[in-house]
Structure 1
Amino acid sequence: MIKSREGSTTKIPKKEIIHRISTGVSELDRALEGGIPKGSWVAITGEPGTGKSILCMHFAWAGIKAGDPVVYVTTEAEFRDVLKQAKMFGMDFEQYRILDISSSKQYQEANPPHIVVIDIFGLLKIARQISSTDEEGKKRFHYALSIETLIASINEAYKILGVLREGSKTPQKHVRLIIDSISAFWADKPAMARRYSYDLKVATHRENVTAYLVSQYAMTTKSTFGFGLEHIADGVFHLWMDDVEKTKEVKRYMIIKKMRMTNHVRKAFLVEIEPGKGFVLTPLG
């Protein structure tokens, strides 16, 4: 309370508590004052080989350890390869319940999986399910790599995880969503990236969902493949490497370009990818 000259009092507004979600990388958490603000959409941008997918593995692993269900969309690699690589970095996902949405394997509502995987085959399965016939009898097909199919697949994953109440679109439990990579959904129409990004965010952004969205950088222009994702994202982790033809070695870097609702370190980090540890950050300067 603050007392005014007239004797009245004014309440000092309480500082809003920010619930933070661990990235699974301790140095990155410290750089974000404890982690990502809950409900944020984080774009992970960079050229191939900079460690974007490994950063996603850490995020998923931290989620499972914290008791958060995970929806893992992978268009760049088969999930079994993700599992093998993660194991090399000390993350053994196979000790937890994993359900591939494309499989015919049944799940028990009383014992839902920890991770629901959506790969290209899962997207194709959902695309067939949501295809429809109009009043004139014409078939309306959905493509596997369409935003409509992606949205339907994510909603199906929420049902499998058992995090939706009847008639609700907002998970009642915090969920970690990973899409690696989002660029695949506008690969044939990069000019539509901004619209597709907005469509996806309107349909799936929820306070109880924190998301990693991987965006590839074009090797020729060194810019995001498709314009728009960085604008609608709450945070951007950008990764890059030195020109290997000049340096004759691989040196990777990362910088937090933006993050809403929190302060963050503004200087870049040197990135090392180490066996048994995975993504290791060292502050520069």
Structure 2
Amino acid sequence: MATQSQSQQAQAIKRISLGVDWLDYALQGGVPRGNWLLVTGEPGTGKSILTIQSAGANVNAMPVVYVSTETRFKDVVLQASQFGIDLGDAVSLADVLAGKVKDARTNLVVIDLFGLAREYRELLRAGEEEGGKRRAQSPLSMEVVISAIERAYEALGISEEGKITRDVLVIIDSLAPMWAHAPAMARLITYSLRQRLYRSNVTVIMTNQFAPTTGETFGFGAEHIADAIIHMWMEEPEARKGIERWLIIKKARLTNHYRRALRYEIEPGRGLVLLEPSIEELKSS
């Protein structure tokens, strides 16, 4: 049970909603502004759904940059609609770079595989003009992802001389493809990512794959740049003869978070729904 002083301190911190009320309760109102949240879990646990819910919850309040390293822009929008999530007038970075969007009057830019491929070609072209220097190894390399995010900042009109002029939410779903070619480099890549993107007014939500066979996230190092970690898993489907999903907040800076596992389900039109404990029990903890 939090003391009155702790509650007052928690209220003084500006927080970013995850779009899931019960998860916000478990984090004293959401993710502290400027923090980096890492969501880990095996396929099927709802990591991408959580990030889409987070985007939908904030798109009317602040600019959102959504990086999807595994799906297309249309798939992100379609999945959002299946869970009743309104992404507003979202645009894809690929369309912005292709000149199809002249005036991006939106709070949400989605960077998908096509956007990353276009930015990769732009970086290669720039490298050739600089004497053949290669600036990126693949469309999914860290250099391309960061450059694409900076392009999205420009499209949103929130970048001036390298400074971010407004609070912004950056979502990266997922980190794993960025070091798939060299897992041993994961820690260096994630540290470089944080160094390049960190700003006190930039809040970041990242996902990463978790391998049940090893009990570790793919690519050692992502946990070390995270201010908070939410881990999602399934309870032995073969033994249970069904799917039972759980999550736990493993750490959260600036937050006296809920410390027990939370059981949830994924429901069409609603997204992540808490099964136990009850909302009332969670609020009173």
In the superposition, the TM-score normalised over structure 2's length comes to 0.87
Instruction: Give the match for residue 276 of structure 1.
Output: 269
Report the RMSD for the aligned CA atoms in angstroms.
1.9
- Distance between the aligned counterparts of 2:217 and 2:200, measured in 1? 26
Deviations 1:196-250 (A, max 9, x none): 0000000001111111111001243131000111111000010000111111100
- Distance between the aligned counterparts of 2:101 and 2:29, measured in 1? 38
Distance 1:21 1:141, change over 3 A: closer
**Percentage of identical aligned residues:** 46
1:98 is aligned, of 77, 82, 90, to 90
How many angstroms does 1:139 deviate by?
Answer: 4.9
How many angstroms does 1:30 deviate by?
Answer: 0.8
Deviations 1:7-65 (A, max 9, x none): xxxxxxx9693111111111111111111100111000010000100100110001113
How many angstroms does 1:106 deviate by?
Answer: 2.5
How many angstroms does 1:281 deviate by?
Answer: 2.1
CA radius of gyration, larger in = 1
- Distance between the aligned counterparts of 1:87 and 1:15, measured in 2? 36
Letter in 1 for 2:15: R
Instruction: Give the match for residue 240 of structure 1.
Output: 233
Instruction: Give the match for residue 40 of structure 1.
Output: 35
Counting helix residues as a fraction of each chain, which structure ranks higher? 2
Structure 1 unmatched ranges of 5 or more: 1-13
- Distance between the aligned counterparts of 1:251 and 1:82, measured in 2? 25
Instruction: Give the match for residue 114 of structure 2.
Output: 121
Instruction: Give the match for residue 204 of structure 2.
Output: 211
CA contact (8 A) 1:32 1:265 kept: yes
Distance 1:59 1:15, change over 3 A: closer
Which aligned segments of 4 or more residues in structure 1 are displaced greater than 4 angstroms? none
How many angstroms does 1:128 deviate by?
Answer: 1.5
Structure 2 unmatched ranges of 5 or more: 1-7
1:2-17 to structure 2, matched below 5 A, reads 17=12
Work out whether 1:168 is the aligned partner of 2:170.
no
CA contact (8 A) 2:17 2:31 kept: yes
Instruction: Give the match for residue 68 of structure 1.
Output: 62
1:77-96 to structure 2, matched below 5 A, reads 77-93=71-87, 96=88
Deviations 1:72-103 (A, max 9, x none): 1112222212222221211132xx22221112
In the superposition, the TM-score normalised over structure 1's length comes to 0.87
- Distance between the aligned counterparts of 1:268 and 1:240, measured in 2? 10
Work out whether 1:53 is the aligned partner of 2:53.
no
